[in-house]
Amino acid sequence: MEALGFDVLLKGNNMLRLLQGLGVALKISLISVLISIGLGIVFGMLVSMKKPAINAVFNVYLEIVRIMPQMVLLFIVYFGTTKSLGLNLSAEAASIIVFSFWGTAEMTDLVRSAIISIPVIQYESSAALGMSRLQTQVHIIIPQTVRRLIPLSINLITRMIKTTSLVMMIGIVEVLKVGQQIIEANRKASPNAAFGIFATVFILYFIACWPISQLSKYLENKWAN
């Protein structure tokens, strides 16, 4: 094990520190996901009303998010606002703003496509059965929309967790940064620590994301049709 550098994990409280680093990343993604899902549902309903002005604004917003790497957005919000607006955002606040900005666009798009994917025949059949508009929404449309939406929103959570690995680039001490610190501190004692530490970080991310994406896949299959 020593040759592969896994021994470093057992020294001091290194493993605990790595897990705490992962905790920082998970906290940022959880907050951003909650904001994104909340705002995304509201915006998605607005967009599916098909008002030209709203849709035009949303399309520009979606295109920006679609083509700008999250890292560029992070730099703009973290470094750009400080220089040009004199705002002094903390790195965590900047990353939550960027990931919510990105996630909200994704979620809005998911909500919109879930709503418009409900066939017209569902509305017509409910009307033929004498349901009011409210009844149609509550008993027919919303349950079907939610079923289509839940697997996709769970998937958004794993994407958010993976994207938060970028925050080390603006100086947040998360799992990768902690890993680097441990490697630096043990450079003499265990020169191969880089392998063991980065392999561990790799596995930690996998353990965090895999169950969530399996759940999403399971629900998608279960609710298909």
Which residues in this chain contact another protein in the complex, by CB under 8 A?
A: 4-5, 63, 66-72, 75-76, 79-80, 82-84, 158, 162-163, 165-166, 168-169, 176, 179, 183, 191-192, 194-195, 197-199, 201-202, 205-206, 209-210, 213
**Shortest separation between residue 188's beta carbon and another protein, angstroms:** 15
Return the DSSP state at 68. Answer: S
Which conformational region is residue 69 in: left (phi greater than 0), alpha (psi within -120 to 50 degrees), or beta?
beta
- 28 versus 194: smaller Cβ distance to another protein: 194
Tell the smallest beta-carbon distance from residue 214 to another protein (Å): 9
CB-wise, 115 or 157, nearer to another protein?
A: 157
Minimum distance, C-beta of residue 28 to another protein, in the bound complex (Å) = 13
Please give the Cα distance from 69 to 109 (Å, whole number): 18
Closest-CA residue to 30 (of 166, 215, 154, 151): 154
Alpha-carbon distance 14 to 179, whole Å? 9
We find the least distance from the C-beta atom of residue 45 to another protein, in angstroms, to be 23
Given the complex with another protein, which of 70 and 104 has the nearer CB atom? Answer: 70
Is the CB of 96 or the CB of 136 nearer to another protein?
96
Nearest Cα to 182, choosing from 27, 1, 21?
21
- Contact indicator for 198, 41 with CB cutoff of 8 Å: no
Shortest distance in whole angstroms from residue 147 CB to another protein = 20
Of 107 and 176, nearer to another protein (C-beta) is 176
Phi and psi, residue 69, nearest 5°: -60, 145
CB of 129 to another protein, least distance (A): 28
Which residues, in sequence order, are CB contacts of 172 under 8 Å at separation 6+? 24, 28, 91, 92, 95
Alpha-carbon distance 107 to 29, whole Å? 14
CB-wise, 96 or 166, nearer to another protein?
166
